[in-house]
């Protein structure tokens, strides 16, 4: 399923994916909330549900940190490549902004 993500969803998705790649395990819900600047883990759970509905992640019930990334090639990969080509740092902010533009272009082209 290829549905555009909101900026917060994209930021959370990128963080989860980066943490799984770096550490081999998903971040805790509290770490996710802190990363996106949320004071509530409830809103983070809502965002996780939206990512799951959009087909980007799969959560395994009754298990902590059990999140599986379902898409490996997406706008964040393309954003990383684009930033590397122009020599810009691949910060969360840059990745989110470039990925958002790429998602919009993809949606307009469809």
Q: 89-108: per-residue pLDDT in tens?
A: 877 778 778 888 887 887 78
Domain extent at residue 61: 7-69
63 and 11, same structural domain? yes
For 32-38, what is the mean pLDDT? 94
Q: Classify residue 2: in a domain, yes or no.
A: no
Q: Where are the beta strands (DSSP E) in the chain?
A: 57-59, 67-69
Query: Total domain count for the chain?
Result: 2
Give the Cα-Cα-Cα angle 85, 100, 84 (nearest 5 degrees).
10
Q: What are the beta bridge partners of residue 89?
A: none
For 12-40, what is the mean pLDDT? 93
For 39-82, the pLDDT digits (tens) are 999 999 999 999 998 888 999 888 888 998 886 556 777 787 78
12 and 61, same structural domain? yes
- CATH code for position 51: 1.10.10.10
0.75 exceeded by pTM: no
Q: How far is CA 98 from CA 8, 34, 81, 84, in A?
A: 14, 22, 10, 12
80 and 64, same structural domain? no
For 5-13, what is the mean pLDDT? 89
């Amino acid at each position: 399923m290829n549905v555009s993500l909101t900026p917060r969803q994209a930021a959370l998705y990128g963080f989860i994916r980066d943490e799984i790649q770096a550490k081999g395990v998903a971040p805790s819900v509290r770490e996710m909330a802190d990363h996106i600047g949320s004071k509530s883990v409830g809103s983070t759970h809502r965002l996780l549900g939206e990512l799951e509905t959009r087909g980007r992640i799969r959560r395994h019930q009754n298990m902590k940190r059990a999140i599986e990334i379902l898409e490996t090639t997406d706008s964040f990969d393309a954003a990383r490549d684009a930033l590397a080509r122009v020599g810009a740092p691949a910060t969360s902010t840059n990745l989110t902004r470039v990925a958002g533009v790429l998602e919009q272009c993809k949606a307009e082209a469809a």
